[in-house]
Chains A and B, each alone.
Chain A
């Protein structure tokens, strides 16, 4: 079997959370309907990760780290975010 390196106390250099793509945990994926979206930014502020930003006046989701909690869809005042069952593989 391959040898694993275990550091003393598991101490590691910072930024390792970036390597662990927690987005793979999600079951439902938030999908934005840009027609409906009024750019109120509520989802941006409520996202606990934070995986939502505005790029070129459009809401953008970072699916690499979005765990699919659905809070964004819940707080959207115009129902512009739909949680879609994600199929993998």
Chain B
């Protein structure tokens, strides 16, 4: 039986967490994530979820609590945004290095300064090298569904890496959409219980995260990288199995929408993908072959799949909500990096849009795509929706 309800994005995520049944949840509030952990605390208070709920004194503590809990073999969850994720930075590397399958949801939000509580993806993109798997949800349904996939992939013995499921703050966390919510029984069939082979108890003490000298450290980073490569395969498998199980969701690591023979490929991530699809469809009706690549996961980066979907296109355009000052958008860099090894390298255009919550209407994307198609834009990276600026001292 399908349980379809109109719910807020955060509530859908909290519901998914409830059915996945983590043993330990650590929480520290931050906009726009707070509704998720608030709803989970309500489930626990009402007896709808039996879990240890720890109110931490910071995000650094929240994720550290999960590192300890996960080492004891517990299934764990927390949620954060922006500065909160930045404060977790150091511990993210610890969690990945200790190969603990922690899963968190990230309500994507801009980073200070200037203080900004609205959506972009700078917070999670900046955690690129931490060794975490990163998923980006296009809509609320996907934010809900990807949690089950994240746990399954993270807990797989071939992977054992933590995951973050990213969803655009406010745009998805605070929006209401009809969502097919998990039933507890159906999630049990898809996601087995987490029973690690080795875990910490007082009877069987173990050392986690001890010193590795230069003789060994390289090999630790190497096996982490190999695990990430295996994760790519596991994600692809899990997406297919999820689809068979629930009859919904993407079946590819790098889903592509629109005409197969399109000569323009637009790559984007998160909720922006939906807007890009609308624009691509409209441009298709006007006679332009534009297909859309949806970056469902940024880590592992699906380089092979990127080359495959870009095969035969003349132009690749990336829209992303992050920028690395002194360089360019991170997704653009990596897309170009992947395409360097393809036989027919297409022209590449990258645009930062929607930073700090700036709305990205269809007309902005349409204009930028058409400028690329008409050859009015230089190849390379640009701020897509920036206004004219005069810099002043005060």
Q: Which residues of A contact B (CB under 8 A)?
A: 4, 6, 8-14, 16-17, 20
- Per the bound structure, the CA–CA distance linking A6 and B215 in Å amounts to 12
Residues from chain B with Cβ under 8 Å of A10 in the complex? 97-98, 208-210, 212, 220
B285 at the interface (CB under 8 A from A): no
The 0/1 profile, CB within 8 Å of A marked 1, for residues 161-205 of chain B is 000000000000000000000000000000000000010000001
Contact in complex: B219, A4 (CB < 8 Å): yes
Contact in complex: B160, A12 (CB < 8 Å): no
B239 at the interface (CB under 8 A from A): no
Residues from chain A with Cβ under 8 Å of B98 in the complex? 9-11
B100 at the interface (CB under 8 A from A): yes
Which of A9, A14, A20 is in CB contact (< 8 Å) with B205? A14
Which of B160, B205, B209, B216 is in CB contact (< 8 Å) with A4? B216
- Per the bound structure, the CA–CA distance linking A8 and B99 in Å amounts to 7
Output the least CB separation between A23 and chain B (Å).
15
Residues from chain B with Cβ under 8 Å of A12 in the complex? 206-207, 210
Contact in complex: A11, B220 (CB < 8 Å): no
Output the least CB separation between A2 and chain B (Å).
11
- Per the bound structure, the CA–CA distance linking A8 and B205 in Å amounts to 16
Contact in complex: A6, B216 (CB < 8 Å): yes
Output the least CB separation between A7 and chain B (Å).
8
Query: In the complex, which of the residues B208, B210, B212 has the most CB atoms of chain A within 10 Å of its own CB atom?
Result: B210
B211 at the interface (CB under 8 A from A): yes
The 0/1 profile, CB within 8 Å of A marked 1, for residues 94-108 of chain B is 000111100000000
Q: Which 7 A-B pairs have the closest CB atoms?
A: A9-B99, A9-B98, A14-B205, A12-B207, A6-B219, A6-B223, A8-B99
The 0/1 profile, CB within 8 Å of A marked 1, for residues 216-238 of chain B is 10011001000000000000000
Residues from chain A with Cβ under 8 Å of B100 in the complex? 9
* SS class, residues of chain B in contact with chain A: loop
Nearest-CB residue, chain B, relative to A7: B198
Nearest-CB residue, chain A, relative to B157: A8
Contact in complex: A9, B216 (CB < 8 Å): no
Nearest-CB residue, chain B, relative to A4: B219
Nearest-CB residue, chain B, relative to A8: B99
Query: In the complex, which of the residues A10, A12, A14 has the most CB atoms of chain B within 10 Å of its own CB atom?
Result: A10
Residues from chain B with Cβ under 8 Å of A16 in the complex? 207, 210
Residues from chain A with Cβ under 8 Å of B220 in the complex? 6, 10
Contact in complex: B216, A11 (CB < 8 Å): no
Output the least CB separation between A13 and chain B (Å).
7
- Per the bound structure, the CA–CA distance linking A4 and B222 in Å amounts to 12
Residues from chain A with Cβ under 8 Å of B223 in the complex? 6
Residues from chain A with Cβ under 8 Å of B208 in the complex? 9-11
Contact in complex: B212, A13 (CB < 8 Å): no
Contact in complex: A14, B219 (CB < 8 Å): no
Contact in complex: B160, A9 (CB < 8 Å): yes
Nearest-CB residue, chain A, relative to B100: A9
Jot down 20 A-B pairs with beta carbons below 8 A, ordered by A. A4-B216, A6-B216, A6-B219, A6-B223, A8-B198, A9-B97, A9-B98, A9-B99, A9-B100, A9-B208, A11-B98, A11-B198, A11-B207, A11-B208, A12-B206, A12-B210, A13-B207, A14-B206, A17-B210, A20-B211
Output the least CB separation between A67 and chain B (Å).
14
Output the least CB separation between A29 and chain B (Å).
23
- Per the bound structure, the CA–CA distance linking A9 and B67 in Å amounts to 12
- Per the bound structure, the CA–CA distance linking A67 and B170 in Å amounts to 53
- Per the bound structure, the CA–CA distance linking A12 and B208 in Å amounts to 7
Query: In the complex, which of the residues A11, A14, A20 has the most CB atoms of chain B within 10 Å of its own CB atom?
Result: A11
Nearest-CB residue, chain A, relative to B212: A10
Residues from chain B with Cβ under 8 Å of A11 in the complex? 98, 198, 206-208
Which residues of B74-108 are within 8 A (CB) of A? 97-100
Nearest-CB residue, chain A, relative to B207: A12
- Per the bound structure, the CA–CA distance linking A20 and B210 in Å amounts to 11
Residues from chain B with Cβ under 8 Å of A9 in the complex? 97-100, 160, 208-209
Output the least CB separation between B390 and chain A (Å).
52
A10-B97, A10-B208 known; 5 new pairs, CB 8 Å cut-off, are A6-B219, A8-B198, A10-B209, A10-B210, A11-B98
Residues from chain A with Cβ under 8 Å of B216 in the complex? 4, 6
- Per the bound structure, the CA–CA distance linking A14 and B201 in Å amounts to 12
- Per the bound structure, the CA–CA distance linking A13 and B204 in Å amounts to 9
- Per the bound structure, the CA–CA distance linking A9 and B160 in Å amounts to 9
- Per the bound structure, the CA–CA distance linking A16 and B160 in Å amounts to 24
